[in-house]
Amino acid sequence: MDEWLTADNILATIFAVFSLAASAVTIWYRPRAQHRKRIGYRVQMDTPFGKSNDDGDEAALTTVRIGAFGNFLEGMDDATVVLIRIENDGAETIAESDYTSRDALHGLTVVFRDRTVRGVAVTQPDVHDEYLLEHFVPAGPAGLHSSGRKIFLPPVPLNRNQHFKLLVLLTGGPVNSDVRITGGLQGGDVVRNKGVSIDEELPLFSRQAKWITAALSLSVSVLAATIAWPQAIVPPRGCETGKLTVVGSTASTRRRRP
């Protein structure tokens, strides 16, 4: 038993346990982290529709337009278009009664900094979820409407992973200005997700996958180094160490008789 209690074996065991613990904690924590009700939102597109005034340069290039766009955008040289995805990315279904706004007609409010809302359209790409659009009509105080730099959304029930999108036409500010969605959920949160834009590529690994991969790689490297590292020869248990000096020797032979 004692021959197993070496520094190399103890180190290898510690790293093996660490690797298993890292994987187990990630598997255990992930579903519980999303147990609360949660509405997430992210801006998928924010692009100029008139002049690109990112840096306030009056000589910035203008988007190329032909046909009806030429008349439609008169006086809207600073127009921008924003696409926002709003989704239930929690673990529970969200009902109309879960919204905690004091105004029962409103669930969430979209706020654009330095920009004015000129128009908004609600889209639902999944044909099986088209019934969600019924919650946005009639337009007006009882449904979807906008005022200044804000868009007021009705309390829309969402099942897990359900979502809808807002396509918004704005003026008065540069692209990439701050966009926020405010509101409350009973027993939950409204948060901004980190998402890639339409033109960006999806990451190959998530953050959790990167941490697990790094931990496993470190453990395997340590185990490999432990095996390859030259180890000292340990004498058998019960043997004494010392010095032996040979002073002399004798030898004899015995002749076999025929």
**Between these two residues, 17 and 88, which has the higher pLDDT value?**
88
Domain boundaries, given as residue ranges, for the chain:
2-29+207-228, 36-47+80-192
CA 228, 231, 236, 238 torsion-angle sign: negative
Confidence class for position 173, pLDDT limits 50, 70, 90 = confident
Q: What is the pLDDT of residues 43-100, one digit of tens each?
A: 998 888 765 555 555 444 556 655 555 556 566 778 889 999 999 988 889 999 999 8
The answer, yes or no, to whether residue 179 has pLDDT greater than 90, is yes
Q: What is the pLDDT of residue 180?
A: 94
Instruction: Taking residues 197-205, report their average pLDDT.
Output: 57
> 225: which strand partners?
none
The answer, yes or no, to whether residue 250 has pLDDT greater than 60, is yes
The answer, yes or no, to whether residue 112 has pLDDT greater than 70, is yes
The answer, yes or no, to whether residue 235 has pLDDT greater than 70, is no
**Between these two residues, 139 and 121, which has the higher pLDDT value?**
121
- The model carries a pTM of 0.64
Helix axes 207-228, 7-33, angle to 10 degrees: 170
The answer, yes or no, to whether residue 232 has pLDDT greater than 50, is yes
**Between these two residues, 241 and 160, which has the higher pLDDT value?**
160
Q: What is the pLDDT of residue 104?
A: 74
Instruction: Taking residues 171-179, report their average pLDDT.
Output: 87
Question: CB-based contacts of 47: which residues, under 8 Å, 6+ apart?
Answer: 80, 81, 175
Q: Which fold has domain 36-47+80-192?
A: Immunoglobulin-like (2.60.40)
What is the overall mean pLDDT for the chain? 75
Percent of the chain whose predicted confidence (pLDDT) is above 70 = 58
Q: CB–CB of 38/163 below 8 Å?
A: no
